[in-house]
Amino acid sequence: MATEVAQIDVQVQEDHHDHDHEQSFISKYIFSTDHKTIAKQFLITGIFWAIIGAAMSAIFRLQLGFPEADLGWLKPLLGRWITETGQLDQEFYLALVTMHGTIMVFFVLTAGLSGTFSNFLIPLQIGARDMASGFMNMLSYWFFFVSGVIMFISLFLETGPASGGWVVYPPLSAIQTAMPGSGMGMTLWLIAMVFFIASSLLGGINYISTVVNLRTKGMTFSRLPLTIWAFFLTAVIGVLAFPVLFAAALLLVFDRSFGTSFYLSEIYIQGEALSNVGGSPILYQHLFWFLGHPEVYIVLLPALGITSEVIATNSRKPIFGYKAMIVSMLGITFLSFIVWAHHMFVSGLNPFLGSIFMFLTLIIAVPSAVKVFNYLTTLWKGNIIFTPAMLFSIGLVSVFISGGITGIFLGNSAIDIQLHDTYFVVAHFHLVMGAASAFGLLAGVYHWFPKMFGRMMDAKLGYIHFWLTFIGIYAVFFPMHYIGIAGFPRRYYSFTNFDAFSGFTDLNQFISIAAIATFFGQFIFLFNFFYSMYRGRKATANPWNSNTLEWTTPINPGHGNWEGEIPEVHRWPYDYSKPGAEDDFIPQTVPFSETMESNLPHENDMIALEKEQAEEIVVDESAGH
Amino acid sequence: MFGFYIALAILLVLGILLLIFRVTRLVGIVKGTGEKIVTDSNNVNAAMMIVFMVLFFGIAGWYSYVNFDAYDQPVASEHGELTDKLFWRTMWITGIVFAITNILLFYFSWKYRYSAKRKATFYPHNNKLELIWTGVPAIVLTWLVISGWMAWDGIMSEAPEESEQIEIMGAQFQWSIRYGGVDNQVGDYDYRLIDAVNAHGQDLSDRSNFDDFISNNLVIPKGDPVLLKIRARDVLHSVFIPHMRVKMDAVPGMPTQFWFVANKSTDEMRVEEGNPDFNYELACTEVCGGGHFSMKKRVVVLEPAEYAEWKIDQKSWLSKNPQYLSQVPENLKELALVTAGINE
């Protein structure tokens, strides 16, 4: 049944393909339904937001590293957010922290990463002409765009954007008078998030149905590249988790504007006792983290998927433990839904519940560890080519280890008492989800740039960019562990009020300098990206000698991806350096009957099957016509 | 004018960088290196892996060793010593894993860098290996979970009955501290009774309120259990006493609590730290608005005898604010006058 639908769909799109040249500018580049164009739209928008989000962190790092410095020179940009004495405004500091988090987590690492690569790679790597629904896909981007516009507008409000931290815990976010950012800024934040959730759901449903229904002949689930497995599971997580955030946001809207008391109870603020009773702020935290924790894996899994592909290709070796990789991703997907309360050990949660969540949380370390060991074994006895994408993938594994290991401290509720909401947490999640998925994003861009734009990015600039970023990331986040162990709380505008937190001015300065340098280092990438788009060396059909399907398309694939029929798939995507084979790679489209010299015993048995299937098709076609 | 020169300098540097980029690119095209997948840079990148590894472990190891006292906050509570022990145990175990995996990552990257003479080893899977590295982490983690769980269970257990009862209430942007007084019972409150003077909203129909007193600092006895009854008046806050390893959110509408035993007095800590100005502090760790970073209270740990003395000296809130006697029900007025210490 499913294949019938798929065939009809393909038919329709093939017709469309014929009329490709008649597309107007608007339908080709703006309201496009082509997954490749939509992917690029996501990528460019993601890059735009990444610049804004990173610039924000550079600004608040200035405050943290140089609290005495005169920031008056930022006045043309920030206006009265710079105080008379040339310091950053305290409320605005929180606004920056909040928007940095929101932008980076949702706009850059969710939409920018999944939106780009799920869209770009799913049809190309499974052998489909386009997404299951091109129209929904287009909507997905434009909902994201609207969400971004609203969030962007909120940056320019007189009272500032939302400022209660990216988790926007009520009552701070629910009571409009609690801080300036809880007024209009918070309203716009909520509206923007509603559009964002709609966008994610439209995208996610599309990714899932495409992977399930539109795989080309021979592309079984056990032959899918790990990228696709990762995108598929990411979409599943998103579809299950985002609606809960929607519910949380909706109840917050009700509390803010319609006088309900879902999250509010017994509040006396600014000389007034509010009438709300019976609500619970903890309810919001449960709902938020029910999305919030899976969200971590929504940003991380695609990066791990990309890394698996890039490491295997550039080690010229099959990924070690393909099935174990899939099983561990399945494990992570499942477990990601039942660990959320580890963010709430000291929130007043029932301590018994805390014990349960500690246990579940530490289980999730096992599949993550398995993935790391598999990456290491993939590199072992490889023949490693350091493309910029490969460098970023190796960098990803390193920051994933470093950041993942601190998770074992934080997942332990007894140790978490001291570390909760300190810089230790900031260091932990910036390495394990921030840097790791950003590295995945960058690896993906370097690796698939030739397919996106038909040109190569400059490798040397890529190397410089990588080393600057890699050293920079560690220089920024590794020292934060020390500050965190010393107990420095996060989201503090200044540490000088406390004797206990007044040390480490030198380290804070070092971090700030490293952060700002790393931020400027990213302009090398931007230059390389836009320059290579127009002036880069022309790409060859398969520049990395890779096995996956996307490299069998024309160098600049049109709408519909393949000019003739969609190629058939005969093998898994990781036949690199197979003993006996002439080249060190065998693309997925090569049947076993053509590689007698390198087949493994059980693969020889497949040849008969291949033949049978080929005959069946002939019979089918003759019956059909 | 100064700004103009800076802009000019930046432009010049950018221009030079751009020129270098163009030249190396053109040279690359002439030499034809652009066509190759593997260039000489491959060995440079491989070597950089080792350089990075040495520098990273060198600097991190050196800093961790030299500045240990700076980041290791002294501990002054009984459960804190336990959680610190768990922390450092976890640090050793994970530290070793961290070092081994990172070293292998960089070493393999260098060792197995591309060589035209070699072919990679086709090694797609080994179920035995997978089982080992699923099983071993699982066992180690189970051990960590169980020791963590036992500690957690003890810390979060019911407070001993004789604990000193102290209410700490967060509000934008200050902490307010109320003691149970002579009867060691923190009286009932109702948030609707809060006003400028009655900051805690003490409900004076409850007799345990009469002897409650407000203190500017959190004063606690050494060696005796202290029960913090934590609440918030407006938004979320979080009680954090770094040296005591105490942290618990303050939630409006849902009282929380944390009990602990301080085991070093302020004076003892001053001697230990060699700092006569040392004071324990209490901070807020849940973002609560613009003044979040300034919510500080001093914590004073006294010897039990000193503490008892200090406590006797405190005047009840009601005796300081006798106008609130009107809120006391008639039948309790007499009692109120006596227990509040107005009529001796």
A240 contacts A201 by C-beta, under 8 angstroms:
no
Eight-class DSSP state of A336: T
Candidates A370, A375, A482; nearest CB to B130: A370
- Of B237, B235, B234, B215, nearest in space to B226 by CA: B215
| Mean pLDDT (whole number) for A14-25 | 56
**Is B310 within the bounds of a domain?**
yes
| Cα distance between residue A101 and residue A113, in whole Å | 16
A405 vs A9, which has greater pLDDT? Answer: A405
| B259: helix, strand or coil | strand
- B-contacting residues of A 261-300, CB under 8 Å? 264-271, 273, 277-282
Among all chains, which residue has been given the structure tokens 């050494």? B222
Assigned domain for B287 exists = yes
Cα gap A432→A442, rounded to integer Å: 15
Task: Give the 3-state secondary structure of B128-147.
Answer: HHHHHHHHHHHHHHHHHHHH
A347-385 pLDDT per residue, tens? 999 999 999 999 999 899 999 999 999 999 999 999 999
Q: Tell me the two tokens of residue A614.
A: 């080929």
Q: What is the rounded radius of gyration, in angstroms, for the C-alpha atoms of chain B?
A: 31
* Residue A529, pLDDT above cutoff 90: yes
The answer, for B112 touching chain A at a CB cutoff of 8 Å, is yes
CA–CA gap between residue A234 and residue A227 (Å, rounded): 10
Residue B1's pLDDT band (boundaries 50, 70, 90)? low
What pLDDT digit, counting tens, does each position of A99-110 carry?
999 999 999 999
Q: For chain A, what percent of residues have pLDDT higher than 90?
A: 81
Tell the burial category of A466 from Cβ atoms under 10 Å away from its Cβ (0-12, 13-18, 19+).
buried
pLDDT of res. A624: 47
Angle at A215 between CA A214 and CA A217, to 5 degrees: 120
Q: Which of residues 241-260 of B touch A (CB under 8 A)?
A: 242-243, 245-249, 251-254, 256
Does B202 touch chain A if contact means CB atoms closer than 8 Å? no
pLDDT at A173 over 60: yes
One-letter amino acid at A213 equals N
Q: Around Cβ A330, how many Cβ atoms within 10 Å?
A: 14
The secondary element (H helix, E strand) that includes residue B220 is: strand B218-221
User: Is the distance from CB of A88 to CB of A73 less than 8 angstroms?
Assistant: no
On whether residue B215 sits in a domain, the answer given is yes
Q: Which amino acid is at B128?
A: K
Residues of B whose CB is below 8 A from A278: 253
In this structure, are residues A362 and A299 in contact, taking their beta carbons and an 8 Å threshold? Answer: no
pLDDT in tens, A214-256: 999 999 999 999 999 999 999 999 999 999 999 999 999 999 9
pLDDT, average across residues A337-342: 93
Per-residue pLDDT tens digits for B74-128: 999 999 999 999 999 999 999 999 999 999 999 999 999 999 888 899 999 899 9
Query: In whole angstroms, what is the distance from residue B176 CA to residue B297 CA?
Result: 9
Strand partners, B258: B228
Domain assignment present for residue B263? The answer is: yes
pLDDT of A208? 96
User: Which pLDDT score, from 0 to 100, does residue B40 have?
Assistant: 82
Of B34, B37, B144, the CB nearest to A412: B144
- Once rounded to an integer, what is the mean pLDDT over residues A86-94? 92
Contact: B125, A495; criterion CB under 8 Å = no
Q: How confident is the model at residue A622 (pLDDT cuts 50, 70, 90)?
A: low
Q: Residue A611's pLDDT is what? A: 79
Please report residues of B whose CB lies closer than 8 A to that of A397. Answer: 105
Per-residue pLDDT at A19: 46
Best B10, B122, B238, B240 member to test A by mutation, with max A CBs in 10 Å, is B122
The answer to whether the beta carbons of residues A502 and A460 sit under 8 Å apart is no
The complex scores an ipTM of: 0.94
Cα dihedral B15, B21, B23, B26, rounded to 10, equals -140
* Cα distances (Å, whole numbers) of residue A48 to A41, A104, A536, A563: 11, 11, 21, 33
Check residues A376 and B35 and name the one with the higher pLDDT.
Answer: A376
Is B237 a domain residue? Answer: yes
Instruction: Report the pLDDT averaged over residues B33-59.
Output: 87
Instruction: Give yes or no for residue A16 having a pLDDT over 50.
Output: no
In a domain, B96, yes or no: no
pTM comes to 0.93
Q: How far apart are CA A602 and CA B59, in angstroms?
A: 51
Domain-embedded: residue B246: yes
Q: How confident is the model at residue B28 (pLDDT cuts 50, 70, 90)?
A: confident
Question: Which tokens belong to B269?
Answer: 């800590």
Confidence of residue A265 (pLDDT cuts 50, 70, 90): very high
Q: Left (φ > 0), alpha (ψ -120 to 50) or beta: where does A491 sit?
A: left
Q: What is the pLDDT of residue A577?
A: 92
The residue type at A278: G
B72 contacts A171? CB cut-off 8 A: no
pLDDT at position A2: 43
Answer yes or no: are the C-beta atoms of B266 and B279 closer than 8 Å: yes
The whole-chain average pLDDT of chain A stands at 91
Does residue A82 contact residue A75 with C-beta atoms inside 8 Å? yes
A354/B149 Cα distance (integer angstroms): 9
Specify which residues B249 forms β-bridges with.
B238
Task: For Cα atoms A194, A195, A196, give the angle at the middle one, nearest 5 degrees.
Answer: 90
Domain that holds residue B252: 164-339
Distance between CA atoms of residues A583 and A571, nearest Å = 16
Q: Number of folded domains in chain B?
A: 1
Inspect the interface and report whether the beta carbons of A394 and B194 lie closer than 8 Å.
no
Rounded to whole angstroms, the Cα distance separating A414 from A428 reads 17
Q: Does pLDDT of A1 surpass 90?
A: no
Of A79-93, A146-160, A425-439, B286-300, give the lowest mean pLDDT range: A79-93
- Nearest of A204, A121, A538, A492 to residue B242 by alpha carbon: A492
Q: If DSSP codes are grouped into helix, strand and coil, which group holds residue B113?
A: strand
A617 — pLDDT class (breaks 50, 70, 90) = low
What homologous superfamily does CATH list for A31-264+275-535? Cytochrome c oxidase-like, subunit I domain (1.20.210.10)
List B164's β-bridge partners, or say none. Answer: B226
Backbone angles phi, psi at A280, to 5 degrees: -145, 120
B144 lies in a domain? no
pLDDT tier at A13, thresholds 50, 70, 90: very low
Whether pLDDT at A480 is above 70: yes
Pairing of strands B218-221, B297-302: parallel
Q: B171 has which bridge partners?
A: B174
Single-letter residue type at B222: K
Looking at the predicted structure, is the pLDDT value of residue A20 above 60?
Answer: no
CATH code of residue B230: 2.60.40.420
Q: Is B241 helix (H, G, I), strand (E, B) or coil?
A: strand
Work out the angle at residue A304's Cα, subtended by the Cα atoms of residues A479 and B34, and round it to the nearest 5 degrees.
90
Of A521 and A611, the one with more pLDDT: A521
Instruction: Tell me if chain A has a CB within 8 Å of the CB of B48.
Output: yes
Has residue B35 got a pLDDT over 70? no
Separation between Cα atoms, residue B20 and residue B230, nearest integer Å? 63
| Bond from prior residue into B106 cis (ω within 30 degrees of 0) | no
Measuring CA to CA, which residue among A219, A118, A119 is closest to residue A567? Answer: A219
Q: List Cα–Cα distances, A180 to A201, A267, A397, B288, B290, in angstroms.
A: 31, 18, 41, 12, 9
pLDDT at residue A620 in the model: 60
Going from the C-alpha of A564 to that of each of A98, A552, B173, the distances in angstroms are: 50, 11, 69
Å between A10 CA and nearest CA of chain B: 35
Q: Determine contact: B278 vs chain A, CB below 8 A.
A: yes
In the prediction, which pLDDT does A95 show? Answer: 95
Going from the C-alpha of A423 to that of each of A347, A354, B71, B188, the distances in angstroms are 18, 22, 12, 37
State phi, psi for B248 to the nearest 5 degrees: -155, 135
**Option in A164, A318, A461 nearest B287 (CB):** A164
Residue B284: its H or E element: strand B280-284
Domain borders along chain A are 31-264+275-535
Residue A619 scores a pLDDT above 90: no
Could you give the CA distance from residue A283 to residue A292 in angstroms, rounded to a whole number? 14
Confidence of residue A621 (pLDDT cuts 50, 70, 90): low
